[in-house]
Amino acid sequence: MPAAVILAAGLGTRMRSALPKVLHPLGGRPMLAHLLETAARLFDRIVVVTGPGMEEVARLAAPHAVALQQDRLGTGHAARMAAPLLAGYPGDVAILYGDNPLIGEETLRRLIAARSAAELVLLAMRPADPGRYGRVVTDEAGDVRRIVEWRDATEEERAIPLCNAGGLCAAADRLFGWLARLRPDNAAGEYYLTDVVALAVAEGLRCRAVEGPAEELAGINSRAELAAAEALLQRRWRQAALEGGATLIAPDTVHFSHDTQLAPDVLVEPHVVFGPGVRVESGALIRAFSHLEGCVVRAGAIVGPFARLRPGTVVGEGAHVGNFVEIKAATLGPGAKANHLTYLGDASIGAGSNIGAGTITCNYDGQAKHRTEIGAQAFIGSNTALVAPVRVGDGALVAAGSTITEDVPADALAIARGRQVIKPGRGARQRKGGATEAG
Ligand code: UD1
Ligand code: MG
């Protein structure tokens, strides 16, 4: 198996961002995570090249090795930084760009396999708009002679439709030999990785291009290109959800993450966002304008419209979560209901319990989070504040408007609110300019 070097040290100037380019989110995770996942299936060693101040990139790369490119002197210079970590590596090394997140496994396999026919192989594409990609110069036999960067290219060279997609592969010793010989004598004053082609050809070695789909190989250099890649992923995932047996009433308005799982016969209404880590079981209904992340919605449950399920939420079988309900790190048992205007955080609610409108679990005391535990078949009246830590037993009732600060035993009724007082005639007196006690 070959090794891979992933270049991720670039600042991504064209993104106009304080965040390193490869950390920009795509499909619910950092751009680089996509390529790392694909590469991990194909390469037995991976080295990620990061830049100074990019500890977050190094964390994301773990457990793979990381090489630091102190000065960003170009893609060839970045690739060179991996040399000490792969010294004496007996096989092939592929250099990949971290801003190429959508490269498919199949395309990478074709690149690796092509090495049987040439000493150096590279990924190429023919995008509808070749823009500022490097151009691949070939001879009559179709062998690659060199790559010319757009900035350095003549008008004639810019007219070449075959573009360098980024991604090349050669024997480790040869590749690091060429990298050591690169010179920054070009328009950008950078060490271009792409110049290894001319060095290989000058040695009389053969270089071939492996063409892949342009949409898969598009590099992400700007926010617009990031948005285009996101749109492509979303189209794929919507299609996969439909093929998997989910109904999406308005597919174009449903937003998925890389790991969204919808079982057959899930129905999703328009304008739903699935953040990372969501699993929805069969027959569940996700109603319009709901936002879900890090949660499980069990079979036959109904969520929304306008529900927010945050990480750690489990909505039990047949349970209902209605409008303007937010749930975090909480389990709603089978058949339980929280239908209106409620916050349930750090809580467990037993089977069949009813949570009235406006119920709030007061889970945070300013320092720490505390749990609320509600048993099965309990009834929590509207506008109840449950001051955690607190427990409400099975079958207990809580009167509307209560502020519950002590545990409620099973089957008991708890009332914790000011007692109502009636003062006959006081309203009328006040209107005439008398007592104003009512406020
Ligand atoms: C590069 C290619 C170009 C190709 C295009 C495909 C070169 C010189 N040019 O251009 O031929 O058509 O990709 O998308 O290789 N990086 C570093 N350190 C650096 C510079 C870059 O790690 O000093 C990393 C970046 O984080 C990025 C990758 O290398 O992930 C590519 O760099 P980028 O600046 O995006 O190159 P392009 O201009 O897109
Ligand atoms: Mg790029």
What DSSP line would sit under 177-217, residue for residue? HHHHT----STT-S--GGGHHHHHHHTT--EEEEE--HHHH
| Type of residue numbered 318 | G
Positive/negative CA dihedral, 158, 163, 167, 173: negative
Q: Quick one: pLDDT at residue 358?
A: 98
**Neighbour count for residue 388 (Cβ, 10 Å):** 21
Residue 93's Cβ-count burial label (10 Å; 0-12, 13-18, 19+) is buried
Q: What is the mean pLDDT of residues 78-105?
A: 97
Task: Write the residue with the smallest CA distance to atom 33 of ligand 1.
Answer: 10
Token pair for residue 389?
């830590």
3-state secondary structure of 59: helix
Q: Quick one: pLDDT at residue 433?
A: 86
H or E segment at 145? strand 144-148
Q: What is the mean pLDDT of residues 84-101?
A: 97
The contacts of residue 228 (CB under 8 Å, 6+ apart) are 218
Q: What is the mean pLDDT of residues 298-321?
A: 99
Asked if the model's pLDDT at residue 436 lies above 90, the reply is no
Pairwise CA distance, residues 70 & 161, whole Å? 35
Q: Is 291 a catalytic residue?
A: no
Positive/negative CA dihedral, 291, 296, 299, 300: negative
Nearest to 229 by CA among 37, 62, 30: 30
pLDDT-based confidence at residue 335 (cuts at 50, 70, 90): very high
Residues touching ligand 1 (Cβ under 6 Å) are 7-10, 21-22, 49, 69, 72-75, 77-78, 97-99, 133-134, 147, 149, 163-166, 192-194, 219, 221
In sequence order, what E strands does 203-319 have?
207-211, 247-248, 254-255, 261-262, 267-268, 272-274, 279-280, 285-286, 291-292, 295-297, 302-303, 307-309, 313-315
Asked if the model's pLDDT at residue 438 lies above 90, the reply is no
Task: Write the residue with the smallest CA distance to atom 14 of ligand 1.
Answer: 219
Ligand at shortest distance from the CA of 31: 1
Pairwise CA distance, residues 91 & 321, whole Å? 55
Q: Quick one: pLDDT at residue 180?
A: 98
Pairwise CA distance, residues 108 & 437, whole Å? 79
Asked if the model's pLDDT at residue 11 lies above 90, the reply is no
- Cα-to-centroid distance, 351 and ligand 2 (Å): 53
Token pair for residue 133?
């990609």
- Cα-to-centroid distance, 22 and ligand 1 (Å): 12
Q: Quick one: pLDDT at residue 374?
A: 99
Q: What is the mean pLDDT of residues 74-92?
A: 97
Nearest to 91 by CA among 9, 1, 209, 20: 1
Pairwise CA distance, residues 348 & 131, whole Å? 55
Q: Which residues pair with 91 in a beta bridge?
A: none
Q: Quick one: pLDDT at residue 163?
A: 98
Asked if the model's pLDDT at residue 69 lies above 60, the reply is yes
- Strands 354-355 and 313-315, by their bridges, are unpaired
Asked if the model's pLDDT at residue 437 lies above 80, the reply is no
Long-range contacts, 176-183 (Cβ 8 Å, 24+): 176/80, 176/83, 176/86, 176/87, 176/93, 179/76, 179/79, 179/80, 179/83, 180/80, 180/83, 182/76, 182/77, 182/80
Q: Quick one: pLDDT at residue 431?
A: 92
Q: Which of 54, 97, 147 to mutate to test the pocket of ligand 1 (most atoms within 8 A of CB)?
A: 97
Q: What is the mean pLDDT of residues 225-249?
A: 98
Q: What is the mean pLDDT of residues 8-16?
A: 93
Task: Write the residue with the smallest CA distance to atom 25 of ligand 1.
Answer: 10
Q: Which of 75, 152, 211 to mutate to test the pocket of ligand 1 (most atoms within 8 A of CB)?
A: 75
Q: Pick the range with the lowest mean pLDDT from 196-200, 246-250, 268-272, 434-438.
A: 434-438
State the closest ligand 1 atom to the C-alpha of 150, by its place in the atom list counted from 1. Answer: 11
Q: What is the mean pLDDT of residues 172-196?
A: 97
Q: Which residues pair with 163 in a beta bridge?
A: 125, 135
- Mean pLDDT value across the chain: 97
Asked if the model's pLDDT at residue 116 lies above 60, the reply is yes
Residue entry with tokens 């709603």: 332
H or E segment at 85? none
Cα–Cα distances in angstroms (integers) from residue 156 to residues 83, 84, 148, 161, in the given order:
36, 39, 11, 11
H or E segment at 154? none
Pairwise CA distance, residues 178 & 354, whole Å? 70
3-state secondary structure of 365: coil
Q: What are phi and psi of 255, to 5 degrees?
A: -110, 125
* Contact of 209 with 122, CB cutoff 8 Å: yes
Distance of CA 153 to the CA centre of its chain: 37
Q: Which residues pair with 413 in a beta bridge?
A: 397
pLDDT-based confidence at residue 435 (cuts at 50, 70, 90): low
Pairwise CA distance, residues 304 & 288, whole Å? 6
Token pair for residue 354?
């009813």
Express each pLDDT in 25-38 by its tens digit.
999 999 999 999 99
Cα–Cα distances in angstroms (integers) from residue 37 to residues 61, 103, 305, in the given order:
10, 11, 34
Q: Quick one: pLDDT at residue 439?
A: 53
Express each pLDDT in 347-386 by its tens digit.
999 999 999 999 999 999 999 999 999 999 999 999 999 9
Token pair for residue 158?
């810019």
Asked if the model's pLDDT at residue 414 lies above 90, the reply is yes
Domains of the chain: 3-217 (3.90.550.10), 245-414 (2.160.10.10)
